Structure 1
Amino acid sequence: MSGVAGMARAYAGWRASTLGRITDRLEDVLLRDLLGDVAGRAVLDFGCGDGKLAMRLAAAGAQVVGVDADPAMLRAAASRAAAAGVSVQFATGRAEALPFMAGRFDLVVAVTVLCFVPDAEAAFREIARVLRPGGAVVIGELGRWSLWAFRRRVRGWLGNRLWRAARFSDATELRRLAARSGLEVQAVRGAVFYPPVTMLARAMAPLDPWLGRITGIGAAFLVLRAEKFSAAAHIEP
Structure 2
Amino acid sequence: MEPVAYFEQIASKYDTWYTTPIGSYVDAVEKEQVFSLMKGQKGVILDLGCGTGNYTLALNRLGIKVIGLDKSMEMLKIAIQKMSVPFVLGDASILPFKNQSLDSILSITLFEFLTYPEKTLSEIYRVLRPKGEIILGTMNTFSAWFLFKRLKSIFKETAYRYARFYTVNQLKILFKQAGFINLTTRGVIYFPAFIPCFLIPLVEKLDRKWATSPLRHLAAFVLIRGEKP
**TM-score higher than 0.5 here?**
yes
Deviation of 1:15 after TM superposition, in Å, equals 1.5
Deviation of 1:159 after TM superposition, in Å, equals 5.2
What is the RMSD computed on CA atoms of the aligned residues? Answer: 1.9
| 1:140 alignment partner, one of 127, 134, 137 | 137
Deviations 1:101-132 (A, max 9, x none): 11111100000000011111111111111111
1:61 aligns with 2:73: no
**Residues in 2 aligned to 1:178 and 1:78: alpha-carbon distance in whole angstroms:** 31
Deviation of 1:198 after TM superposition, in Å, equals 3.2
**Residues in 2 aligned to 1:32 and 1:160: alpha-carbon distance in whole angstroms:** 32
Task: List gaps (5 residues or longer) in structure 1.
Answer: 83-87, 230-237
1:104 aligns with 2:114: no
What is the aligned-residue identity percentage?
A: 28
1:192 aligns with 2:189: yes
**How many matched pairs?**
221
- In the other structure, the counterpart of 1:11 is 15
**Residues in 1 aligned to 2:70 and 2:15: alpha-carbon distance in whole angstroms:** 17
- In the other structure, the counterpart of 1:227 is 227
Deviation of 1:185 after TM superposition, in Å, equals 3.8
Q: Is the 8 A contact 2:45 2:64 kept in 1?
A: yes
Larger radius of gyration: 1
- In the other structure, the counterpart of 1:234 is none
For the residue of structure 1 that corresponds to 2:83, the secondary structure is helix
1:37 aligns with 2:40: yes
The code of the aligned residue for 1:203 comes to L
Deviations 1:171-212 (A, max 9, x none): 101111111111114311101112212324443221111111
**Residues 200-209 or 146-155, more deviating:** 200-209
Task: Give the 3 Å change call, closer, same or farther, for CA 201–149 of structure 1 in structure 2.
Answer: farther
**Residues in 2 aligned to 1:110 and 1:156: alpha-carbon distance in whole angstroms:** 23
**Residues in 1 aligned to 2:10 and 2:71: alpha-carbon distance in whole angstroms:** 17
- In the other structure, the counterpart of 2:211 is 212
- In the other structure, the counterpart of 1:50 is 52
Deviations 1:146-190 (A, max 9, x none): 111111111233352632220111110111111111111431110
**Residues in 2 aligned to 1:64 and 1:167: alpha-carbon distance in whole angstroms:** 27
| 1:80 alignment partner, one of 64, 79, 82 | 82
> Normalization by structure 1: what TM-score?
0.87
For the residue of structure 2 that corresponds to 1:133, the secondary structure is strand
